[in-house]
Structure formats: structure tokens, C-alpha cells
Structure 1
Amino acid sequence: MADDHLSKPFDKSAMTEAEKREMKTEIRNQIVVFVLMLFLTVLAFAAVGADIIPTNFAVPFILILAVVQLLLQLLFFMHMKDKDHTWATVFIITGIFVTVPTIVSLMLLIGIVKY
């Protein structure tokens, strides 16, 4: 029938050699970033669990690691480092401008008003 050619394997890829190299580089970068993010997660758990860092620096330390992981996820896994992601960037920035004041106001409300 008409779909018989779909069951046959391709003789060669439609990708050029440059596209294949670029894809291999992208895959390697994502694996490296994934391993780095796993390391940062283990570092956060180990630092707090083993009391390696001072108690008053624990929360800022974890927040710093969280921001680094957020940036890595945005850049590599959500492809924000690539071109033509203007609308995604606009929505993320808008979300930040809505979320941060909301969290700050709720923290102030809970901190000031004790129920």
C-alpha cells in the first residue's frame, strides 16, 4: 500500500554532519549539567545533614544552590540560551515580578500578624 515505505529503514540520515555534531554537543552538555545539578542537590543535603556549614548560613547556602540550579534548568533544559525564546523569557520574567512581591507580602503578613 501507500505506507509500505514507512517500514523500511532509512539509507542515510537527513541531518548534515554539522547538525549531528551540534546535537552530540548539546546532548553532552545536558548530561554534564544534569550531573552537576545532582551534585548540587547532594551537596545541599550533605551540608545540612552533616552540619558542615554554620546554622545561620544554612538557609542562604541552600537558596544560593537553588538559584544556581534554577539558572541551569532555564538555560539548558528549557533552552533559554537558544535564539527565538523571546515570549518564554517574557512570561518567566513576568512570573518573577508577580511571584516575588506575593511571597514577600505573605511573609510580611505572617511575620507581623500572629493568629
Structure 2
Amino acid sequence: MANDQTNSANPNVNLKYRRRKNAEEMRHQVVSFSLMIFLTLIAFLAVAVEDFQHWFTVPFILLLAVVQVIFQLYYFMHMKHKGHDTIALFLYSGALVGAITILTFVTITWL
């Protein structure tokens, strides 16, 4: 059971393995999608409740957005799978350049 993948010549064995892996992947997709819907509802509720102050609501919604981006990358764009190292490098480099750009413009407008 250490190595779940089978290289059997029997197509029925490979079919069972693929079905089990597909079912597991689909379960992860459904759980991730449900979590993202839940996080979206929390964000809507944070805006709808008037007791929350503006200084709390905006960072809270941004935090929920970052969590949802991570879910999107790792579950729906399959970044958790092997072989996506180059793509991940470009995505993270782009995120770093974007964060530095935003930080630069925020710093310029504060001066």
C-alpha cells in the first residue's frame, strides 16, 4: 500500500485504481468548493453586519480573498500535482512583482 499506483497489464486493475483516484479528487474538489462558498458567505455577512467597523471589514475580506486564491490555485488549477513547478514559479514571481508594485504605489502616495 506504500505505492498505490499499479502497473498491471490487467486493464480492470488500472480501471479500479483510476476510479478510486478520480473519486478522491472529486471529493477534494467538492470540499474545496463548499469551503469557498462558505468563505464568500462570511464575507457577505461581514459587510452586511453594521456593527463591524471599516478598519476590521476590509482586511478581513482581503484575508478571505487570499485564502480563496490559494484554494483556487491548489485545488481547481491542480497546482498541488507533480510537474507544475515551472508554472508555480511564474505564478509566485508574478504575485511577488504585484505585491512589490502595490507596496511601491502605496508608499509613494503616503509621502
Residue 48 (str. 1) matches residue 51 (str. 2): no
**Alpha-carbon distance in structure 1 between the residues aligned to 2:76 and 2:50:** 32
- 2:97 paired residue number: 98
Rounded to whole Å, the distance in 2 between the matches of 1:53 and 1:64 is 16
The residue type paired with residue 73 of structure 1 is Q
Long gaps (5+) in structure 1: 1-11
C-alpha separation in 1, matches of 2:107 and 2:65: 22
Cα distance in 2 for residues equivalent to 1:52 and 1:75: 34
Report the Cα offset of residue 64 of structure 1: 1.3
Aligned to 1:7: none
Pairs aligned (count): 101
The structure whose Rg is larger is 1
| Displacement of 1:92 | 0.7
Deviation at 1:80, TM superposition (A): 1.0
Matches within 5 A, 1:1-115: 16-51=15-50, 53-112=52-111
Under a length normalisation based on structure 2, what TM-score does the superposition of the two structures give?
0.80
Measure how far apart 1:52 and its partner are. 5.0
Q: Which runs of 4+ in 1 moved over 4 A?
A: none
Q: What are the Cα deviations for residues 56-78 of structure 1, in whole angstroms up to 9, with x where unaligned?
A: 21112111111111111111011
Identity %: 40
State the AA in 1 paired with 2:90: F
Give the direction of change, closer, same or farther, for the CA distance of 1:16–1:52 in structure 2 (3 Å limit).
Answer: farther
Q: Aligned partner of 2:40: which letter?
A: T
- How far 1:111 sits from its partner (Å)? 3.5
In 2: Cα distance, 1:49 partner to 1:83 partner: 41
Q: What's the CA shift for 1:21?
A: 0.8
Structure 2: 5+ residue stretches without partners = 1-10
Question: Once the two structures are superposed, what CA deviation does each residue of 1:17-65 show, in whole Å capped at 9, x if it has no partner?
Answer: 0111110111121111111101101110111112353332111211111
Query: One-letter code of the match for 2:81?
Result: D
